[in-house]
Amino acid sequence: MFYPLAGKLIPWFAIPAALLFATGLFVGFFIAPTDFQQGDAYRIIFIHVPAAWMGMFLYVLMAIYAGIGWAFNARLSSMMASSLAITGAMFTAISLITGAFWGKPTWGTWWVWDARMTSTLILLFLYIGFISLQAAIDDARRADRAGAVLALVGVINVPIIYFSVQWWNTLHQGATIRLLQKPTIRGSMLAALLIMLAACWLYSVAVVLIRLRCIILEREQNASRFAEVGV
């Protein structure tokens, strides 16, 4: 079955992930130069930007897996979606917190309602909704499918939400400078960003597979428990 295969794959992702994190941070801190405008504070982007991207990618991936699981009655696919949700939410949270840490020294406040941060916050709400819904439903199949509907509605709504937040933001900003502007990207900075992004991907695969195995086991155990009782 899938379970042992997943088990074998995990170290192939976990170890490279650790290596890439180390490499990425090395490049980001030892090789990339100090930014002209933002000083060394900009180095936060090496975790902030990959985390934000992961938050978004994983949400779409989650919706796709959930949709496939629903459409084709593929339980493994649905379980994958449930596993992705927590990691995705975590990256989104990291992106929000690191964004706050970045905003304070560069723009003076811990939180800024710019389009990107606000959209990320809403993305976190969407994750929370998905996770809460699945947590509230005891029956695994209903939880899988209900989650799929919610995730698909969410994924369709995300571009609309993003657009409306952009709209809202430009209306209220007036002539102020664009917030959280990235520094002028040098080659080494880009390299560090991409390496960190790859590291995050590998980490996610490893973690999601581990969690997936847990979910598989939990469902099997629940099934056998019910069988014992004769339900």
Partner 1 sequence: MNWPDLSMGGYGFYVWGSYIASLIFFVWEVVSLRQRKRALAQQQQQQSSKPVSTPVLRGSINETTS
Partner 2 sequence: MLRWIVWRDLMLAWRRRADMLSTVFFFVIVVSLFPLGIGPETQLLRTIAPGVVWVAALLASMLSLGRLFANDYQDGTLEQLLLTPQPLFLVVLGKTFAHWIVAELPLVLIAPLVGVQFDLSRETLWILFLSLLVGTPVLSLIGSVGAALTLGLRGGGVLISLLVLPLYIPALIFGAGAVEASVMGTSPSAHLSLLGAFAIVSLLFSPWATAAALRISLE
Which residues contact partner 1 by CB under 8 A?
A: 29-31, 33-34, 39-41, 43-44, 47-48, 51, 86-87, 90, 93-94, 97-98, 101-102, 104-105, 138, 203, 207, 210-211, 213-214, 217-218, 221-222, 224-226, 228-231
Phi-psi region of 174 (alpha: psi -120 to 50; beta: other; left: phi over 0): left
* C-alpha dist (Å) from residue 50 to 45, 100, 177, 199: 8, 15, 24, 9
Residues 6+ apart with CB under 8 A from 136: none
Considering only residues 125-164, where is the footprint of partner 2 by CB under 8 A?
A: 125-126, 128-129, 132-133, 136-137, 141-142, 145-146, 149-150, 152-154, 156-157, 160-161, 163-164
CA-closest candidate to residue 141, choices 82, 75, 83, 81: 75
- Nearer to partner 2 by C-beta: 68 or 210? 68
Q: Which is nearer to partner 1, 76 or 100 (CB)?
A: 100
d(CA 190, CA 181): 15
Shortest spacing between CB 103 and partner 1, in angstroms:
9
Angle at 83 between CA 215 and CA 210, to 5 degrees: 65
Which of 15/214 has CB closer to partner 1? Answer: 214
Q: Which of partner 2, partner 1, none interacts with 72 (beta carbon under 5 to 8 A by kind)?
A: none
